């Protein structure tokens, strides 16, 4: 029986996007628009300390039962999300992982296919701003200065080339797409309560702040340079094949402001790919919370934990779903954090124009900023933040032309049998009332539960982030992984980019992923090849 569902699988008529010159001209115009700011603003990318008198009870979020759906909607969704009767056959719409947003051609960096002409213009304006190089203040350029004073990159595209993730790593100096986060564990009951109540995310280094900035504007000293080395670790698979894993060791050359605090635990982070992010944002929290409460997964010890956060504007409890630790509840918050910490640019959500500079870095705090009152109170206005967020959110998932190939389907069955699908949850139907109509009521295949899982001591990140412990990581979505592997500089998987291939990433799994790792180790070479063929098809 063919199920008929309203997942907006028809293609709208579109007009050609503007040319490069027009994009840059329009982007410059939008950059000059005044900031549109209302309400309270977030004071930074992390919270260094919460007072004991502000700490509330541990944070919690109760499901509301998908109030966006009618009874008929629920019945249709239950039917389409029912476990497949036969994994040897491709499922309906499986070749279109982003629903109607799926790109029409197998080419990265394309806008969601169901955007109308005006939204395509917004996408290309955001693309130009995403690639814009910020400059040191003061400058003769309009609404383009304010870089740093300490920073890691001059543009978003420096780390996310073409909207992608980090590049392959090698020993020596590190690329800009690898950052070093700096924080320590909580030391008092009050600090632990601050994490559990959502009043704090991290306790940062008192001098270097939230992350190490490797560049500085003229006249200032960078916080240091990162150098990478690897320690190899052989793993023998059944059948005798040996895989050499690499354990990264990051060193700071020439720290500009003295040694790190002895309590600080550095943790490397590779830039994540930007695929279907607005669709991820449109997943209803109840569907993610349902996976955390699934009795079957709980019995297996594989029910992840939601990353609950305190919204800085409303004070309400929200669900984190972006970032390696799911430390951001919205794509816009994630973008504002990157503007502040990576580039040193203020926005309405992160208004400090000196970025991650701490009080101990006095020269940085006294450096000129790029705020121009006639354009608003921030170096990047609300309009700029909105456009960049729109671009990052609407990079389209790619189609899966090989979804029905016999080897791919065999690998898909193994993906389920080995337990991979317990955390890399295949499908969701986005909410009816999504903020962007293009994201509403779409059947999507991101292959993630967007929950936190303990991945074992080998993958420890050194320090907690909110409710995520040092060994806890958000399940990364797998859609687009095959196309990433085909890129010339691909090969940076897991939170610190240590894995060069999906196979290496599997072999690093521990903790809640240990059973899947052992199943992969024990599999035949043919079964492993089938599983990898499935991953390459995503």
Residue 7 binned pLDDT confidence (cut-offs 50, 70, 90): very low
Distance CA 166, CA 159 (A): 6
For residue 103, the tally of other CB atoms under 10 A from its CB is: 21
Residue that has been written with the tokens 């004073």 in this structure: 149
* Structural contact between residues 452 and 183, judged by C-beta atoms closer than 8 angstroms: no
Most confident of 64-78, 205-219, 291-305, 367-381: 205-219
* Structural contact between residues 342 and 151, judged by C-beta atoms closer than 8 angstroms: yes
pLDDT digits (tens, 9 = 90+) for 480-524: 998 888 876 778 999 999 999 999 999 999 999 999 999 999 999
Distance CA 66, CA 78 (A): 13
Higher pLDDT, 331 or 37: 331
pLDDT digits (tens, 9 = 90+) for 97-143: 999 999 987 767 899 999 999 999 999 999 999 999 999 998 878 78
Token pair of 185 as six digits: 């564990």
Distance CA 294, CA 411 (A): 25
Token pair of 316 as six digits: 């309400």
- The residue-averaged pLDDT of 159-172 equals 89
Q: Is the dihedral of CA 487, 489, 493, 496 positive or negative?
A: negative
pLDDT of residue 487: 77
pTM reported for the whole predicted model: 0.89
Whether the per-residue pLDDT at 42 is higher than 60: the answer is: no
pLDDT digits (tens, 9 = 90+) for 230-239: 999 999 999 9
Percent of the chain scored above 70 by pLDDT? 88
Lowest average pLDDT, out of 205-214, 258-267, 478-487, goes to: 478-487
Whether the per-residue pLDDT at 342 is higher than 50: the answer is: yes
Distance CA 34, CA 141 (A): 16
pLDDT of residue 43: 31
Distance CA 34, CA 382 (A): 8
Distance between the two ends of the chain, CA-based, in angstroms?
A: 26
- The residue-averaged pLDDT of 389-417 equals 97
Smallest Cα–Cα separation from 76: which of 160, 6, 124?
Answer: 6
Strands (E), 2-96: none
Whether the per-residue pLDDT at 71 is higher than 80: the answer is: yes
Q: Is the dihedral of CA 189, 192, 196, 198 positive or negative?
A: positive
Question: For residue 308, which phi and psi values (nearest 5 degrees)?
Answer: -85, 140
pLDDT digits (tens, 9 = 90+) for 419-451: 999 999 999 999 999 999 999 999 999 999 999
From residue 463, give the alpha-carbon distance in Å to each of 70, 127, 267: 43, 34, 8
Most confident of 141-155, 305-319, 336-350: 336-350
Whether the per-residue pLDDT at 53 is higher than 60: the answer is: no
- The residue-averaged pLDDT of 205-227 equals 98
Distance CA 402, CA 439 (A): 25
* Structural contact between residues 30 and 18, judged by C-beta atoms closer than 8 angstroms: no
- The residue-averaged pLDDT of 289-300 equals 94
pLDDT of residue 365: 97
Percent of the chain scored above 90 by pLDDT? 77
Whether the per-residue pLDDT at 13 is higher than 80: the answer is: no
Q: 117-131 vs 20-31: helix axis angle to the nearest 10?
A: 80
pLDDT digits (tens, 9 = 90+) for 394-403: 999 999 999 9
pLDDT digits (tens, 9 = 90+) for 82-95: 988 888 899 999 99
Strand, helix or coil at 380? Answer: coil
């Amino acid at each position: 029986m063919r199920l008929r569902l309203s997942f907006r699988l028809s293609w709208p008529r579109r007009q050609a996007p503007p040319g490069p010159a027009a994009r840059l001209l329009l982007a410059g115009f939008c950059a000059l628009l005044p900031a549109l700011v209302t309400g309270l603003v977030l004071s930074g990318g992390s919270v260094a300390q919460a007072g004991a008198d502000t700490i509330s009870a541990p944070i919690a979020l109760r499901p509301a039962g998908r109030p966006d759906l009618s009874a008929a909607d629920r019945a249709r969704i239950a039917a389409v999300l029912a476990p497949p009767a036969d994994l040897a056959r491709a499922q309906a719409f499986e070749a279109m992982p982003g629903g109607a947003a799926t790109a029409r051609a197998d080419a990265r960096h394309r806008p969601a296919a169901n955007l109308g002409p005006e939204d395509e213009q917004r996408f290309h304006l955001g693309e130009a701003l995403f690639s814009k190089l910020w400059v040191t203040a003061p400058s003769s350029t309009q609404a383009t200065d304010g870089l740093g004073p300490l920073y890691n990159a001059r543009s978003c595209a420096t780390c996310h080339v073409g909207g992608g993730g980090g590049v392959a790593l090698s020993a020596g100096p590190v690329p800009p797409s690898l950052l070093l986060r700096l924080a320590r564990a909580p030391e008092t009951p009050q600090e632990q309560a601050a994490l559990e109540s959502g009043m704090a995310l991290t306790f940062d280094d008192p001098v270097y702040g939230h992350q190490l900035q490797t560049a500085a504007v003229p006249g200032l000293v960078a916080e240091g340079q990162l150098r990478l080395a690897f320690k190899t670790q052989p793993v023998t698979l059944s059948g005798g094949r040996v895989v050499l894993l690499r354990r990264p060791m990051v060193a700071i050359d020439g720290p500009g402001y003295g040694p790190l605090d002895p309590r600080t635990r550095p943790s490397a982070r590779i830039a994540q790919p930007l695929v279907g992010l607005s669709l991820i944002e449109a997943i209803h929290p109840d569907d993610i919370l349902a996976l955390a409460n699934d009795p079957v997964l709980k019995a297996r010890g594989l029910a992840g934990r939601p990353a609950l956060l305190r919204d800085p504007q409303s004070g309400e409890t929200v669900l984190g779903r972006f970032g390696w630790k799911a430390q951001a509840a919205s794509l816009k918050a994630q973008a504002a954090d990157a503007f502040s910490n990576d580039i040193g640019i203020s926005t309405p959500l992160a208004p400090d124009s000196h970025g991650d500079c701490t009080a101990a870095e006095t020269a940085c705090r006294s450096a000129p900023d790029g705020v121009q009152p006639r354009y608003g109170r921030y170096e990047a206005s609300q309009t700029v933040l909105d456009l960049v967020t729109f671009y990052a959110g609407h990079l389209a998932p790619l189609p899966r032309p090989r979804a029905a190939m016999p080897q791919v389907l065999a690998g898909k069955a193994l993906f389920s049998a080995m337990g991979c699908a317990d955390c890399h949850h295949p499908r969701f139907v986005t909410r009816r009332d999504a903020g962007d109509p293009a994201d509403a009521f779409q059947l999507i295949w991101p292959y993630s539960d967007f929950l936190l899982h303990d991945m074992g001591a080998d993958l420890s990140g050194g320090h907690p982030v909110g409710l995520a412990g040092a060994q806890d990581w958000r399940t990364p979505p797998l859609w687009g992984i095959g196309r990433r592997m085909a890129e010339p500089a691909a090969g940076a998987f897991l939170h610190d980019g240590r894995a060069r291939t999906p196979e290496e990433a599997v072999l690093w799994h521990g903790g809640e992923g240990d059973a899947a790792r052992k199943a992969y180790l024990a599999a035949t070479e043919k079964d492993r090849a089938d599983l990898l063929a499935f991953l390459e098809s995503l």
